[in-house]
Amino acid sequence: MKQKKIIAIILCLVLAFMIIGCQSNQQETTQQEVNNNTGEESFFTPGTYVGTASAHNGDLEVEVTVDENAIISIEIIKHNESEGIADPAIERIPTNVVNSQSLAVDSISGATVTSDAIISAITHALEQAGGDIDALKQKSDSAINEGETIEYTADVVVIGGGGAGLSAAVTAHENGANVIVLEKMPRLGGNTILSGGAFNAVNPERQERQGIEDSTEKHYTQTYEGGDEAGNPELVRTFVEGAPTALQWLESLGMEFNDDVFTVLGGMWPRANKPSTPLGTGFIDTYVNYIEANDGIEVLLDTEAVELIMDGDRVVGVNAKSFDDTVIVNANNGVIVATGGFGANPEMREEYNEVWADLLSLKTTNHPGATGDGIVMGIDVNASLVGMEHIQLLPMGDPISGSLSGNIEQGVENRIFVNKAGNRFVDEGARRDVMTQALIEQEDAFMWVIVDSHSYPTEDTKNNFNESIAELMEQDRAYKGDTLEALAEQIGVNSDNLIKAVEAFNDSVEAGNADAFGRTLFDEKLDSPPYYAGARVPTVHHTMGGLEINTKGQVVDTNGNVIPGLYAAGEVTGGIHGTNRLGGNALAEITVFGRIAGESAANAQ
């Protein structure tokens, strides 16, 4: 019996050691899995490596530095991606990879192609470093940060750091208010910074020098009738009368415009003032320069407003979030909603769409943050909505991204559109909705923009988006022919049709009469080789509907009463452009009503 007990004890000890050993192995295995998931066990050969991947506008290169156990830094050293659209991906993806030590990071909405290219380039570099790519692609379960609650107070709180929000912030400050701007994206600019920059305003000094007759009454008529008289006449009048003053105000802040005005796509008249700097950067740079030179305006980036704070029937602040932190911003005077439209929210577009056959599948010119947040917050406080069904499409989208970049036109007067057969199909000076509907009816809803050397006297000449024709040709986004026959071969259209289309256009230019499509906007003939072509497709551009406001920029509720403490400006509002916005009116309108909202909020009791 004693011997059996000893054997039993030995067996128990052996079993115990086996259990402990199994548990130890299991713990080691679990830890190994965690390490693999966090990249800690994905050992590298220390050094700096360059990775390359194909992005939207050509090759993208990253420089990745690693030590034996970790990714130390990632820098994008070369890219040709579109400014504004790609910026959130360029700024966030490398940081997210370093912070998570993982390749399993999410793409940035609205910049998916660029996001994927950055991740591919980083992967290429880490392969050279000997990294365990499979392990790095595993999603890591990072520790949950509880965050903290941060509270601010200002006279005026502005939601949105695009053109409308910043013009409101600067004007409120000029009127004696201290201001906090909340911007959910990692940078300022909104849609303004990636726009073509055209600013419609009657400008006798420039227009008369070019022999152009114009007036605020003509601007009013074209805007009101161009929107099928669906806009609020008082708001339209306020806009067109305020546009020249807004232009002068921008110039007083240091912004520069070119000497000549032009007609922008769908603008209906040559009153578009063009900034001297590329795209819409001049607007944002002007506001940022003011903010940096003056105390009293604080900008909180990566801070997403989620709810308006109410005290009875009055808006008194904003609840927001910034990563893991809760942000509360109290407003002594008022809150200005300037969050933009909902062009980058396909589901919301389709919810309100009553005009177009399909808006779910179309890409957009808008930046990723244009998702209708301000409209949703307005609905929660019983704000009235107007014109939500009016959604503007452009015929000028990039076939891959939907953006405006790559558009080779320099102005309405000096280009034509042809379909895949090489035939013209619409008045290229018509309203945007008219041109887009005509394009949708063409084969594959696809067209070529045709220009000549009048638009590009040299291959270094840049388009309205700061891209040279040489760069676009290198990226296979534009094509060149020394003859129309050669160009037709390049783009795969019938050369006889293309030649006839150009000849008919040139005849109309010479005659100075409306052509077969009713076009009356002409300048030069297309008769100066080389000839260039660029592909375009329909894209969602502007949402004309939104929060209802009055001429003081105050938001109105569903009963027609002003909501105390709540103001709005820019594309988040409705009732100004009616069914169709004229090209060049947006930047002017957001500046006019941004200034109105800023002044009203600063002087509120």
Q: Quote the CA–CA distance of 338 and 287 in Å, as a whole number.
A: 15
163-174 and 585-602 helices cross at what angle (nearest 10)? 40
Chain centre to alpha carbon of residue 172: 25
445: DSSP letter: G
Q: What count of residues does the chain have?
A: 605
Amino acid in the structure at residue 206: R
Vertex 303 angle, CA 155 and 158, to 5°: 30
Sequence-separated (6 or more) residues with CB below 8 Å from residue 580:
226, 227, 228, 390, 392, 431, 432, 433, 544
Longest Cα–Cα distance in the chain: 123
Query: Rounded CA gap, 16 and 27, in Å?
Result: 16
How many CB atoms are located within 10 Å of the residue 24 CB? 10
Q: How far apart are the first and last CA of the chain?
A: 97
Q: Can you name the residues that pair with 326 across neighbouring β-strands?
A: 149, 321
Q: How many Cα atoms are found within 13 Å in the side-chain-facing hemisphere of 68?
A: 0
CA nearest to 50, candidates 39, 38, 66, 61:
61
Q: Of 145, 62, 57, whose CA–CA distance to 98 is shortest?
A: 62
Point out the catalytic residue in the list 424, 432, 519, 536.
432
DSSP element (H, E) containing 51: strand 47-55
Q: Is 320 helix (H, G, I), strand (E, B) or coil?
A: strand
**425 and 516 in contact (C-beta within 8 Å)?**
no
Which distant-in-sequence residues (6+ apart) come within 8 Å of 256 by Cβ? 275, 276, 277, 282
- CA angle in degrees (0–180, nearest 5) for 583-336-111: 55
Inter-residue contact 270 to 261 (CB < 8 Å): yes
Torsion 111-112-118-122 (CA) sign: positive
Q: Which two tokens stand for residue 285?
A: 């740079």
Cis peptide before 530 (omega within 30 of 0): yes
- Whether 29 contacts 92, CB under 8 Å: no
| Residue 207: other Cβ atoms inside 10 A | 20
Q: How far apart are CA 311 and CA 101, in angstroms?
A: 44
Among this protein's residues, is 432 annotated catalytic? yes
- Residues with Cβ within 8 Å of residue 594, at least 6 apart in sequence: 163, 164, 165, 166, 167, 168, 171, 338, 569, 570
Cα torsion 397, 400, 405, 409: sign = negative
Task: Tell the burial category of 495 from Cβ atoms under 10 Å away from its Cβ (0-12, 13-18, 19+).
Answer: middle
Assigned token pair, 245? 């003053």
The DSSP call for residue 444 is G
Q: Which residues are catalytic?
A: 432
